[in-house]
Amino acid sequence: MLITFRNVSRYYNDWPALENINLQVEQGEFLVVSGPSGAGKTSLFRHIWMGDLPSKGLVEVAGYSSDRIRKNDLPFLRRKLGIVFQDFRLLPERTVFDNVALPLQVTGTSTKAIRRRVFSLLAEMELNHRRSSYPHELSGGDQQRVAIARAMVSHPVILLADEPTGNLDPEVSRIVIDLLIDINRSGTAVILATHDPRQVPAGTAKFIYLDRGHLVNPNFWDGYRQL
C-alpha cells in the first residue's frame, strides 16, 4: 500500500481539522478528494507530505511512518512525491526551465542529466518554447502546467494536486485534468483535491468526500451519483 491513514486525527487548539480518518491508496491509483472549503483536504495533503503530523493515529507514505520519521528523512520522502498547488507557487525570479529543474538540482543531479530530463519533459508537455519565460509571462493554465512539470520531473510515485484548477477557467481546467489522467495512466498515483469532482470522468478515479474533517462514506460514495 502506498499511502495508509490509520485512525488519523489532527487538532488545532481542539478544533478538529481531521477526525478519525482511515484511508488507503494503492500504487497507480487515482483518488479524488472532494469537499467544501475547510473540510480538511489541505490538512490531508499536509499529512501525506508530512508537513504536518497527526495528533492521533498513524500515517504511512511510501515506506515512511509518521510515528518514526526523523527530520532528516523528510527530504527523502518528499522526493517520492510531486506536489501541485492551486496558486502554482512558481518562483517568480526563475525561468520555466529553472523552476522545473529545481527538484533535480536539490537532489544533486548532474547539470547534463537535468538538462536532458527537463528538456524532454517540457517537450512532452508542449512547453519547450516557453522554457526561457518567467512565470508572470505565462497564462494561468501554462503556469499550472509548469507547476505539474516541476512536480513530475523527478519521477514521483505519488502526485498530490491541491485544487490545481481552482484559479483556472473551465476550458483550461479540462486540459489540466486530462494531463493528470495521463500522468496516472503512466503509473503514478494521483491524489486530486477539488471542490468539483465532476471534473474527473466516471470510472477513472476513486472518490472520497471530506466534511468538517470527517470522511463521509469512504467506500460507497460516488461523486457522480450524489451530485
Partner 1 sequence: MIHLLKNAINEGLLNIRGKLGSFLITILMVSLSFMVFDIFLIISWNLGTVLKNEQENVGIEVFLSDNITEIESVNLADIISGMEGVRSVYFVSPEEAEAVFRADLPEQADLLTLLGPQFHLPPSIQISLQPDYRTSEKVGGLARSVSGMDGVEDIVYGKEYLPGLTRAVDILEKLVVLAGLVLALSLSLVVANTVRLAVTRRALAVQIMSIVGAPGWFVRVPFLGEGLLTGTAGSAGSLLLTVAVSWMLSPSVPHEFLPGKWIMLVLILGASSGAAGSWIGMKSGIPKPRS
Chain-centre distance for alpha carbon 101: 18
Among 11, 20, 49, 140, binds partner 1 (CB under 8 A): 49
> Counting contacts by CB under 8 A, is residue 63 touching partner 1?
no
Site track for partner 1 across 80-99, x = CB under 8 A = -x-x-----x-x-xx---x-
Cell of 212: 468538517
> Counting contacts by CB under 8 A, is residue 145 touching partner 1?
no
> Counting contacts by CB under 8 A, is residue 117 touching partner 1?
no
Among 103, 135, 141, 213, binds partner 1 (CB under 8 A): 103
> Counting contacts by CB under 8 A, is residue 148 touching partner 1?
no
CB atoms within 10 A of CB 91: 12
CA 197, CA 223: separation in Å to the nearest integer? 6
> Counting contacts by CB under 8 A, is residue 22 touching partner 1?
no
CA 182, CA 188: separation in Å to the nearest integer? 9
We find the least distance from the C-beta atom of residue 81 to partner 1, in angstroms, to be 8
Could you tell me which stretch among 19-27, 43-51, 178-186, 198-206 binds partner 1 (CB under 8 A)? Answer: 43-51
Of the pair 153, 176, the CB lying nearest partner 1 is at 153
CA 208, CA 184: separation in Å to the nearest integer? 17
Strand partners, 34: 194, 209
Chain-centre distance for alpha carbon 114: 22
Among 18, 33, 59, 102, binds partner 1 (CB under 8 A): 102
CA 11, CA 1: separation in Å to the nearest integer? 26
Cell of 70: 526523523
We find the least distance from the C-beta atom of residue 98 to partner 1, in angstroms, to be 7
> Counting contacts by CB under 8 A, is residue 150 touching partner 1?
yes
